[in-house]
Amino acid sequence: MTAKLRIMPLGGLGEVGKNMTIVEYGRNIIVIDAGMMFPESDMLGVDYIIPDWDYLRDKKDSVRAILITHGHLDHIGALTHFLQEFEAPVYATRLTRGLIEVRLKRERMLEQTALHTYAAGEAITIGPFTIEPYHVCHSIPDSVGLGITTPAGLIVHSGDFKFDDTPVDGWPTDRAKLAEFSRRGVLVLLSDSTNADRPGSTPSEAVLDDAFHQIMCEAPGRLIIATFSSLISRVQQVVNVAQRHNRKIAIAGRSMVENSRMARELGYLHIPADILVDLDKVKRLPPQQVVIMATGSQGEPMAVLNRLATNSHRLLSIQEGDTVLLSSHTIPGNEETTYGVINRLFKRGADVYYGDQAQAHVSGHASQEELKMLINLLRPRFLVPIHGELRHLVQHAKLAHELGIAKRDIAVVENGYPLTFDGEWMRIGKRVPGDYVFVDGSLVGEVGPLVMRQRDGLAQSGFVTAVAPYDRHAGKTVGQPRIITRGFVYAPNAEELLAQAGDLVRATASVEQGTAPGKVEAKIEQALSSFFYRETRRRPVVTVALIEV
């Protein structure tokens, strides 16, 4: 039996975030990216979500390597979790590796991890695969797409990309390499769909220079710019413009400080020493000479922007004349928290610029004309739209179809559908079950749909607990039950309701002699639930504890 090529998306297809794709040939597997995703507002208490890689658990010995396309969290955020289960070596470009090291160090996992650097233009061999990373423009330097030569043909994985002719680092997407792949013949293209519903081309990062220039002219005092800590090129742009305005730069927020220090050391971020000031020194400067780069553009509770909004930062607080600029696009699901932070910043007297009106963000992803250009350059036999919600994947497929790729040669699939390539055919297999893996504090995967439903119930209507001593032989409770509530009613104002509930507990508990408390508890829970719903039209979570005496 000859081996078949199989591509298996485990994350990022049917959603934005937690990207992960598997390429499998015989007993050889390479994993592309290991990202995380931010929770939506109805995922109560969840810190972030990682891919479900259960598919790989009984194939552990086959995992040869994990290849990272770039340093954004939706591509590296799950790596520490992945490496706790799999011992594969990690390949990344220099800057991406630096960003990964920062995270591994924090988890004390740096020593035991085999990290390798690869660079655009190189070729490395892993098992039956030859991997050729090629440079792509994105909103972080040192991003690559991957050409992967397999015994069944050439795969091109676009990574996250756009065709920017004036990128901040002066290094455009490698069209020559794409043309070379095309000449060799591309079996399948996996291509970024994030902006597949946007017509035209994505503007160059260069247009942001004007926006930063404008706001530095107009801001009467300190300027606080919030963005992702991984947007190294955004930091560079701010530095460049600040220099022209004689403003100094301070960096706030642990991840931003660590990432910029690392990017400076590696030569990806250039900040002249006389421009950079420590955060605790900005007080001594005239406000109009200060720019502070900060974390928290998504309203994250522990990041700098929220600390400023709640006046709980150790060194900084909002003062009269401060201008805050959110240089980012709010990730769907984060709107409420972000707007909450913005409102509180206004309340403290800052002027805040955000969203489209700020014009301080451009996307790092290709729009429709660029997606078409990539397809035209590569002329792949098959196309798999990746990185996007279903609507993005479908839009991407429509574009490809317009360019003459037959519908049966385009796989619009969500996570978990194995694609096998067998000579002239691409087959879409049966979906491998997968789920969200929630990370909540140090709990990984323990919090599932059931716990989530319970949290939802608690958040909606609170809880009621009834505790009563119980005499099994008499078949009844002893004395008055205690009724405890949280988040349901204000107990002092609901005495009558709770007294009635207590009576109900006693009445329901009077059953035949010798009945086990467990059985009685379930009965009382049901009776209480219906009682509260009848009386209040609310459904608090009800628990009953009968303690045998």
361 scored as a contact of Zn ion (CB under 5 A): no
Among 15, 33, 142, 160, indicate the residue that binds Zn ion (CB under 5 A).
160
Q: Which stretch binds Zn ion (CB under 5 A): 100-108, 154-162, 286-294, 454-462?
A: 154-162
Beta bridge mates, 471: 476
Residue with smaller CB distance to Zn ion, 228 or 436: 228
Residue with smaller CB distance to Zn ion, 16 or 489: 16
Q: Going by C-beta distance under 8 Å and a sequence separation of 6 or more, which residues neighbour residue 412?
A: 385, 390, 393, 394, 397
Residue with smaller CB distance to Zn ion, 68 or 324: 68
Amino acid at 107: E
Shortest distance, position 145 Cβ to Zn ion, whole Å: 12
Amino acid at 432: V
For 405-450, the DSSP string reads: --GGGB----TT--EEEETTEEEE-PPPP---EEEETTEES-S-HH
Shortest distance, position 72 Cβ to Zn ion, whole Å: 4
Nearest-Å Rg of the Cα atoms of the chain is 28
6 scored as a contact of Zn ion (CB under 5 A): no
Which segments of 229-338 are extended strands (E)?
248-252, 290-294, 323-326
157 scored as a contact of Zn ion (CB under 5 A): no
Residue with smaller CB distance to Zn ion, 28 or 334: 334
Q: Going by C-beta distance under 8 Å and a sequence separation of 6 or more, which residues neighbour residue 253?
A: 229, 294, 295, 296, 303, 304
Residue with smaller CB distance to Zn ion, 11 or 418: 11
Owner of token pair 């409102």: 343
Distance CA 493, CA 497 (A): 9
Query: 182 to 221, contacts with Zn ion by CB under 5 A?
Result: none
Distance CA 438, CA 435 (A): 9
Shortest distance, position 98 Cβ to Zn ion, whole Å: 16
Shortest distance, position 99 Cβ to Zn ion, whole Å: 12
For 190-207, the DSSP string reads: EEE-TTTTS-S-PPPGGG
Shortest distance, position 508 Cβ to Zn ion, whole Å: 55
Letters for 107-146 (x = contact with Zn ion by CB under 5 A, - = none) are ----------------------------------------
Distance CA 506, CA 528 (A): 11
Residue with smaller CB distance to Zn ion, 159 or 416: 159
Shortest distance, position 15 Cβ to Zn ion, whole Å: 11
Distance CA 250, CA 272 (A): 12
300 scored as a contact of Zn ion (CB under 5 A): no
Task: Check residue 199 and report its DSSP letter.
Answer: -
Give the count of residues interacting with Zn ion (CB under 5 A). 3
Distance CA 70, CA 93 (A): 8
Residue with smaller CB distance to Zn ion, 159 or 481: 159
Residue of 36, 69, 73 lying closest to 145 (CA atoms): 69
Shortest distance, position 179 Cβ to Zn ion, whole Å: 24
Amino acid at 400: A
Shortest distance, position 160 Cβ to Zn ion, whole Å: 4
First to last CA, the chain: 69
Shortest distance, position 17 Cβ to Zn ion, whole Å: 7
Shortest distance, position 300 Cβ to Zn ion, whole Å: 18
Q: Which stretch binds Zn ion (CB under 5 A): 49-57, 99-107, 153-161, 434-442?
A: 153-161
Residue with smaller CB distance to Zn ion, 197 or 409: 197
Directed axis angle between helix 232-244 and helix 208-218, to 10°? Answer: 50
Shortest distance, position 384 Cβ to Zn ion, whole Å: 16
Distance CA 116, CA 10 (A): 23
Which helix (DSSP H) or strand (DSSP E) does residue 543 occupy?
strand 541-548
Distance CA 450, CA 151 (A): 44
Shortest distance, position 365 Cβ to Zn ion, whole Å: 8
Grouping H, G, I as helix, E, B as strand and the rest as coil, residue 380 is: coil
Residue with smaller CB distance to Zn ion, 194 or 306: 194
Amino acid at 194: T
CA angle (422 as vertex; 417, 423 as ends), nearest 5: 145
Other C-beta atoms lying within 10 Å of the C-beta of residue 40: 12
Query: 62 to 81, contacts with Zn ion by CB under 5 A?
Result: 72, 74
Q: Which residues of this protein are in contact with Zn ion, per CB under 5 A?
A: 72, 74, 160
